[in-house]
Amino acid sequence: MAEERIIIAGFGGQGVLMIGKLLAHAGMMEGKNVTWLPAYGPEMRGGTANCNVIISDGIIGAPIVTEATCVIAMNLPSLDRFESFVQPGGWLLANSSLIPRAPVRRDVQVLAIPVNDLAQQQGSQRVANVVMLGAYLAVTPVVRKESVIAAIEDVLGPGKRHLLDINLNALAAGLAFPTKVHA
């Protein structure tokens, strides 16, 4: 891996910024150069939110992603807005629980994941972001699964340790999904 440039987008409250934070944290733990640039509307929860994450073995010139190796769209407005940002051959991961249409692009790799449904199977819609993170890790070797698990433990901290198991189960469900689809 030389450099991964990721745009993660959805509405506030879906945990899109957390996906980016976990990726950046895991990348730092592996000694990679990282940037995490969040953007969100004044409403935050319920408004639009996105972040740009770059994980690189080399120097990162700027934190803004204009040509993504992957776009993660958690809702339809995010797919509409960011689908064109994926470089040809890059990945487009779409939350098919909330996105009723297929992506338009035919020059990218598409994975439609029902992350809300998979999260509900784990016991809570609130871990849909972690399901999506797991699916992303299954198709992109940007960071190791073990680094993401350690990042989840660090970010949750001792005060939210009771949420660790559901998050680890959600990560595992996301990791397993692409292999079930392509089996």
Q: At what angle do helices 164-181 and 115-122 cross, to 10 degrees?
A: 130
Higher pLDDT, 24 or 156: 24
Mean pLDDT, the chain, as a whole number? 92
Higher pLDDT, 161 or 23: 23
Residue type, 111: L
In sequence order, what E strands does the chain have? Answer: 3-11, 33-40, 48-56, 68-73, 86-95, 109-113
> Mean pLDDT lowest for which of 43-47, 106-110, 163-167?
43-47
Paired tokens of 89 = 């051959």
Q: State the pLDDT at residue 181.
A: 53
Residue type, 27: G
116-168: pLDDT as tens digits: 999 999 999 999 999 999 999 999 989 999 999 999 999 888 888 888 999 99
pLDDT reading at 20 higher than 50: yes
* Phi, psi angle pair for 163, to nearest 5°: -95, 0
DSSP for 38-58, written as a single string: EEE-TT-BTSEEEEEEEEESS
Burial of 96-111, coded b for 16+ CB within 10 Å and e otherwise, reads bbbbeeebeeeebeeb
pLDDT reading at 32 higher than 70: yes
Find the mean pLDDT for residues 17-26: 97
Q: State the pLDDT at residue 183.
A: 39
Q: How far is 70 from 85, CA to CA, in rounded Å? A: 9
What is the DSSP code (8-state) at residue 155? H
In the chain the domains, ranked by start, together with CATH numbers, are 3-181 (3.40.920.10)
Find the mean pLDDT for residues 52-74: 95
Percentages (nearest 5) of helix, strand, coil residues in the chain: 45, 25, 30
Q: State the pLDDT at residue 182.
A: 47
